């Protein structure tokens, strides 16, 4: 793809310096203050004669977009733009719990430590570096435009970042395909390495359960009391859960994992594909509870009580008790499906289920027929021949939720090598204490991203 002999030793050094500089900026959201990251990126992009568009969605909440047009004759530009997207905000870090300063970008033990190291200033730096290199080496053919967007506010729901850009400046970010979070990291299971590429996201519903019952005096208990009804409902929700659903991406993901495991693990994983066996396996047989919970969330609509309210006076039994639920919806289902499942489970006419807000799930792409997915797969084949590239659904959401509304096919692909000897788990580090990435894991990711982008730009058509 790239016929140039690039000096990756020096380019990786340059990329790492940009990455560390980003990590040193405190963009904890709230309040975000992403303007400092935007300024740093803009300065770096200008060094390669790129002129970024910068726009504030609120004070100090800035977003950056830069476009590098195709460099082949117009009749050879047959595909829409490729968007590289990353968010510059990070979740809070309590420095007293960390081994190194979360905003120090300390390099120790072969790792770079810092909040945002893998969520996702790594991808921001690698993407910026990729577009800088494409601008620097104009002899690399670009059969489509490439856009880089560094956005604010992903961690608090995207309002001031990707949603703002999609609503206010859609022409700047409209693309055919997008690479962003979450995916591309190494998942070492047993003796095999998998590299998930995200192609679907669960939706979200903010719901309220309202239990009603007769009021009364606190000195005389009665079994119809609203708080008791609510407590029973919450218990039922937690203990019995909602129905099992096997959706296509999760089915393919589990099949792919199972195919590379030894017999015992293979049976366990394959059992997850059965609605009858799955509950037993998840409750009893799955050794790692974190993995069991993650698989549970992939196989069910879920509703978790987070805010519970009832009563104001100690000696008065209130006539109402309520709780808010954080509901998550599988692709192929809607918030009303989720509400119906909850009503059916609770089966209590004194408990109302109400929707406060909802965003629907997204299948980000038809990955089986996607040339992008196949290109990613073949680039990985070259850079990690021992690994298997697998489709993946995340149970949360990302900026893809906003970008996909413009018709963009979104892929979670922020490549990062985590070898077994690194002893790091992506899911444990994500929003975790001591977030860090291996130096060689980052540089592997930089080269893989660059090669993937060159491959996606070199194609004349799908």
Q: Where along the sequence are the contacts to Zn ion (CB under 5 A)?
A: 119-120, 181
CB of 401 vs Zn ion, minimal distance in Å: 12
Give the residue with the Cβ less far from Zn ion, 119 or 451: 119
CB of 235 vs Zn ion, minimal distance in Å: 33
Token pair for residue 19?
A: 């990455």
What is the number of the residue whose Cβ is closest to Zn ion? 119
Residue 60, Cα to own-chain centre: how many angstroms?
A: 24
Q: At what angle do helices 248-259 and 289-299 cross, to 10 degrees?
A: 140
Give the residue with the Cβ less far from Zn ion, 180 or 203: 180
CB of 87 vs Zn ion, minimal distance in Å: 6
CB of 390 vs Zn ion, minimal distance in Å: 20
Give the residue with the Cβ less far from Zn ion, 324 or 435: 435
Lookup result for tokens 């609605």 = 275
CB-CB neighbours of 96 under 10 Å: 5
Give the residue with the Cβ less far from Zn ion, 120 or 303: 120
Cβ 452 vs Cβ 218: under 8 Å: no
Cβ 330 vs Cβ 202: under 8 Å: yes
Residue 156, Cα to own-chain centre: how many angstroms?
A: 13
As a whole number of angstroms, the distance between CA 260 and CA 156 comes to 37
H/E stretch holding 167 reads helix 162-168
Token pair for residue 283?
A: 């409750």
As a whole number of angstroms, the distance between CA 328 and CA 205 comes to 6
CB of 166 vs Zn ion, minimal distance in Å: 17
Give the residue with the Cβ less far from Zn ion, 62 or 398: 398
Give the residue with the Cβ less far from Zn ion, 25 or 120: 120
Residue 66, Cα to own-chain centre: how many angstroms?
A: 22
List residues bridging with 205 in a β-sheet.
Answer: 327, 358
CB of 181 vs Zn ion, minimal distance in Å: 5
CA distances from 68 to 41, 100, 142, 200, 447 (A): 15, 37, 9, 28, 19
Give the residue with the Cβ less far from Zn ion, 145 or 154: 154
CB of 119 vs Zn ion, minimal distance in Å: 4
CB of 360 vs Zn ion, minimal distance in Å: 20
Residues in the chain: 462
CB-CB neighbours of 364 under 10 Å: 27
Give the residue with the Cβ less far from Zn ion, 45 or 120: 120
Residues 6+ apart with CB under 8 A from 119: 90, 91, 181, 430, 431, 435
Cβ 342 vs Cβ 303: under 8 Å: yes
As a whole number of angstroms, the distance between CA 13 and CA 405 comes to 37
Residues 6+ apart with CB under 8 A from 91: 28, 29, 115, 119, 155, 431
As a whole number of angstroms, the distance between CA 351 and CA 333 comes to 23
As a whole number of angstroms, the distance between CA 351 and CA 345 comes to 11
CB of 177 vs Zn ion, minimal distance in Å: 19
CB-CB neighbours of 293 under 10 Å: 13
Give the residue with the Cβ less far from Zn ion, 119 or 153: 119
Give the residue with the Cβ less far from Zn ion, 152 or 325: 152
CB of 120 vs Zn ion, minimal distance in Å: 5
Give the residue with the Cβ less far from Zn ion, 162 or 370: 162
Cβ 129 vs Cβ 427: under 8 Å: no
CB of 269 vs Zn ion, minimal distance in Å: 27
């Amino acid at each position: 793809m790239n016929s140039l002999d690039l000096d990756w030793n020096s380019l990786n050094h340059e990329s790492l310096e940009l990455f560390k500089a980003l990590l040193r900026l405190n963009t904890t959201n709230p309040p975000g203050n992403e303007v400092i990251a935007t300024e740093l990126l803009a300065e770096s992009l200008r060094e390669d004669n790129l002129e970024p568009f910068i726009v504030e969605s609120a004070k100090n909440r800035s977003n950056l977009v830069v476009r590098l047009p195709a460099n082949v004759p117009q009749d050879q530009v047959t595909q829409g733009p490729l968007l590289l997207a990353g968010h510059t905000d990070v979740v809070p870090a309590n420095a007293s719990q960390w081994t190194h300063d979360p905003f120090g970008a300390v390099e120790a033990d072969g790792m770079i430590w810092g909040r945002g190291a893998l969520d996702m200033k790594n991808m921001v730096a690698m993407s910026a570096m990729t577009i800088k290199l494409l601008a620097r080496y104009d002899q690399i053919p670009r059969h489509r435009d490439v856009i880089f967007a560094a956005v604010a506010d992903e961690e608090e729901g995207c309002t001031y970042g990707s949603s703002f850009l999609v609503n206010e400046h859609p022409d700047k970010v409209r693309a055919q395909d997008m690479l962003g979070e979450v995916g591309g990291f190494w998942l070492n299971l047993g003796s095999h390495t998998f590299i998930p590429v995200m192609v679907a996201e669960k939706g979200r519903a903010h719901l309220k359960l309202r239990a009603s019952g007769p009021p009364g005096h606190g000195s005389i208990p009665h079994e119809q009391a609203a708080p008791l009804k609510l407590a029973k409902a919450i218990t039922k929700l937690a203990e019995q859960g909602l129905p099992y659903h096997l959706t296509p991406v999760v089915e393919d993901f589990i099949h792919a994992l199972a195919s590379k495991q030894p017999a015992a693990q293979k049976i366990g994983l394959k059992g997850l594909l059965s609605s009858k066996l799955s509950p037993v396996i998840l409750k009893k047989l799955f050794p790692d509870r974190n993995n069991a919970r993650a698989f549970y969330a992939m196989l069910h609509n879920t509703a978790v009580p987070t805010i519970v309210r009832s009563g104001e006076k100690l000696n008065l039994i209130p006539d109402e008790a309520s709780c808010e639920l954080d509901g998550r919806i599988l692709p192929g289902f809607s918030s009303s499906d989720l509400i119906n499942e909850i009503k059916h489970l609770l089966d209590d006419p004194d408990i109302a289920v109400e929707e406060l807000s909802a965003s629907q799930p997204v299948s980000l792409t038809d990955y089986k027929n996607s040339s992008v997915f196949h290109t990613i797969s073949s680039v990985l084949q070259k850079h990690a021949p021992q690994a298997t590239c697998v489709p993946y659904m995340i149970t949360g959401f990302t900026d893809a939720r906003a970008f996909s509304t413009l018709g963009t096919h979104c892929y979670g692909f922020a490549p990062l090598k985590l070898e077994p000897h690194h002893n790091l788990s992506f899911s444990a580090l994500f929003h975790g204490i001591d977030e860090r990435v291996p130096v060689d894991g980052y540089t592997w990711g930089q080269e893989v991203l660059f090669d993937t982008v060159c491959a996606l730009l070199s194609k004349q058509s799908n």
